[in-house]
Chain A
């Protein structure tokens, strides 16, 4: 097993490098010229011409061929340096170090809240399949997920701040356990909970028809014991996978909530520096995302055989 994990991790290195190159190339060739954009994003009487832009590019070393610039980037990357932002001239390491923890906090807190609220609701809905409880839970969860978070966020905020006057605008970030975090967290949970409810409900429905659950029920085992002993594990296996994906999604791209509420996380970096085509920042954010995705997949693949013994045989099939 240890060897298997090691091998998987070794596979990451070329994957990450190739990914870095693809994204760097996409941004380099496709997304525009950061120096020109620096001037273009400015309204009014900015003055520049091709000669000036060339001169700036030359000064910043951006006129060199792609492979040379990328090679330099990789050289720094290998030594743990994510480079310097083209636009702001700041160290990308510092930017990531300051923003990633915030995104992680939001991601983990959202996932925990979603799990705590969503899984019981999903089980409840599944157990009362097609009854009014099921319809209420599923119906409202899905309706909620149909409203985009960029509508919910500002509307709730205006309602609470100006309508009811119960709070000040929760702009910025004072840490997870502050009052400012309540509204963004609510919007995050609000937007993600339907997935978990549906997943849990579907799992429960599937398990309910399994023989061992029927047998247990027929034997008169108390319902709560049936749920805890026989159903929870098979139901939760895919749910945990989805939660993991959700975590990655939030860490890597809670763009809208971070933008609306001014949360200094990775999402806000993503949007601003993607529009400005700041290669080092874009690549750094992508690499973090890729690392998380790969780590999650590894975790899932390792735990899968324990959680679903049947898939274990398939796993051994992959390994050879």
Chain B
């Protein structure tokens, strides 16, 4: 009886404890939410659905739980929105034309090894202070350094005197970047580069205010970009609140933006990983922009215009590794390539038939596109002949091949399609499909690797430098250390030619031809550089995107609901 009594009390206590924990945690919950103010205008929008609103809100979303909103990373999904809050040196529009931004003047010296840039006297940060040459120098030194983990800095600053030392963490400053006065930056290159000014025309290396972002030790201040630390930015908008746990970031108008007054009042970027949620929210008018998969369901709900695409340079595909078995055999590579029908690849990638059949030409859609380029055909018989001529005429001798980078439902389909062709034609069954992008060495080195490369400046030589040259990520990592001395020499010569020198294109085409004859890639994709207007709903106007994956002139974007 006694024990029963005690247990009763215990029960009561346990229940009371649970109730207390519930109350406490319920109270603690709202306290951690700092963005309730942001929800209010959103609700207002929904109430007056379909009407032109005074409050202009652009609600964007990324399919990734972004934790790092520093403008100095040069990568990550959130970098698609960098143009909203960070001004670059210059920018290139969707037609390839160069526009001034922070820099409004650029002049090279005679032999194209020293470039002088002038900062627009009107260019100011969100706190009203001028953008100075010292900020530019400090920012570029900072992003070159490994501690800042900028993901693409080599694309922009390679060739600057002293870049390598900083890049490898052996120095803190590049002697090649100097502030001549408050508004003049002088860049000394190790060799001639006629297109250096276009290379730096990107938001990914826009200057940040050194006194705010850089500590006394010369490194980036942790979370200086977070609104709680009163950051200073240079773009048309500035961060108002960042809730990393909920994945919601809110930007508001930068009152001091020098070029124009932004039409939008607020920009929100929400992390939503589940694609069904994104599609549903877009269809329900709760989002204005997002990256849903381009499939039948999304097209039905969002309208096919949502995925409107424009031709964009770049190359994508399954790249073959010429340095491991069995893909080191050129006949084997030839057999694999010939066995795949590019038309079917296109049908699988583009359910609405938008886009272009992939050709595997790196210079496609660039001024240097080769009119004589003949894509590899789909020819099962020739494929079987090539296989018979290879060292692997007996399918049982083929070592297992790993297809890496099979990371999305779309690429899973393509990989399975290709594997099935090879199984039917050659009897090859030992293929492993791995979502990983890892393991470039050892027993799990992939024979085929799905990836791609684009180019920010519409230029043939730069495109090849970033995709076929042995220093590029594609050659070094994706193609398992592809290094063709002839190709390298042609590209290295081409990049030194002036932009309008016909040799620049001619040399590039020659390099491309050599590469093409080596059967190195099974091209995939639709030739679209993503959506031209950035996957926005019909009521969003003025969105344009460039090859830098940035929204162009985001101050021109506005929302207008049109009654149907």
Contacts and interface: CB of A to CB of B under 8 A. Distances in A.
User: Touch between A and B in complex, CB under 8 Å?
Assistant: yes
B443 to A, nearest CB: 16
A319 interface: no
A261 B246 CA distance: 11
A175 B29 contact: yes
B104 interface: no
Interface string A296-320: 0001000101110100000000000
Given A45-B152, A88-B68, A306-B10, A175 B30 contact: yes
A87 B25 contact: no
Contacts of A307: 7
A45 B453 contact: yes
Given A55-B146, A87-B68, A46 B151 contact: yes
Interface string B1-36: 001001100100010001001100110111011001
A108 B169 contact: no
A172 interface: yes
A47 B149 contact: no
B514 interface: no
Contacts of A217: none
Contacts of A37: 438
A68 interface: no
Interface residues of A, number: 67
Nearest to B9: A306
A259 B274 CA distance: 7
A102 interface: yes
B152 A46 contact: yes
Interface in B23-79: 25-26, 28-30, 32-33, 36, 39, 46, 65, 67-68, 75-76
Interface stretch (B251-259, B276-284, B537-545): B276-284
B33 A175 contact: yes
A44 B146 CA distance: 20
A47 B151 contact: yes
Contact of A172 (B22, B32, B222, B248): B248
Given A158-B276, A168-B284, A175-B30, A99 B473 contact: no
A229 to B, nearest CB: 11
A48 B152 CA distance: 8
Contacts of A105: 22, 25-26, 29
B147 A47 contact: no
A46 B75 contact: yes
Interface in B279-321: 280-281, 283-284, 286, 301
B39 A174 contact: yes
Contact of B6 (A87, A176, A306): A306
Nearest to A104: B25
Nearest to A154: B276
Residue among A88, A97, A177 with most chain B CB within 10 A: A88
A309 B152 contact: no
B74 to A, nearest CB: 8
B271 interface: yes
Contacts of B3: 305-306, 309
Interface residues of B, number: 70
A101 interface: yes
Residue among A36, A41, A43 with most chain B CB within 10 A: A43
Given A88-B68, A172-B248, A47 B155 contact: yes
Contacts of B248: 172
A47 B152 contact: yes
A108 B473 contact: no
B244 A88 contact: yes
Contact of A95 (B30, B245, B280, B284): B245
Interface string A154-193: 1001100110000011011111110000000000000000
A272 B29 contact: no
A89 interface: yes
A48 B30 CA distance: 42
A184 to B, nearest CB: 12
B272 A171 contact: yes
Contacts of A102: 29, 32
A58 interface: yes
Contacts of A264: 243, 245-247
Contacts of B168: 51-52, 55
B277 A157 contact: yes
Nearest to A99: B245
Given A40-B438, A175-B33, A89 B222 contact: yes
Interface in B144-203: 145-147, 149, 151-155, 167-169
B380 interface: no
A262 interface: yes
A285 to B, nearest CB: 14
Contacts of B394: none
A174 B246 CA distance: 10
B263 interface: no
A172 to B, nearest CB: 6
Contacts of B149: 35, 38, 56
A32 interface: yes
Contacts of B26: 105, 175-177
Nearest to A256: B274
A46 B473 contact: yes
A223 interface: no
Interface of A: 32, 35-49, 51-52, 55-56, 58-60, 85, 87-90, 95, 97-99, 101-102, 104-105, 108-109, 112, 154, 157-158, 161-162, 168-169, 171-177, 233, 259-262, 264, 268, 272, 299, 303, 305-307, 309
Interface of B: 3, 6-7, 10, 14, 18, 21-22, 25-26, 28-30, 32-33, 36, 39, 46, 65, 67-68, 75-76, 145-147, 149, 151-155, 167-169, 222-223, 243-248, 270-274, 276-277, 280-281, 283-284, 286, 301, 436-438, 451-454, 466-467, 472-474, 476-477
9 smallest beta-carbon distances between A and B, as pairs: A88-B67, A55-B146, A306-B7, A40-B437, A55-B169, A59-B147, A47-B154, A154-B276, A264-B245
23 contacts: A40-B437, A42-B75, A44-B451, A45-B467, A46-B75, A47-B152, A47-B154, A47-B155, A49-B477, A101-B32, A104-B21, A105-B29, A112-B18, A157-B280, A162-B283, A168-B46, A168-B286, A173-B33, A174-B30, A177-B26, A260-B276, A261-B277, A306-B7
Given A56-B147, A101-B29, A172-B246, 20 more contacts: A42-B75, A43-B451, A44-B453, A45-B152, A45-B472, A52-B167, A59-B146, A59-B169, A88-B244, A90-B67, A157-B277, A157-B280, A158-B276, A162-B283, A171-B277, A171-B286, A172-B270, A233-B7, A264-B247, A305-B3
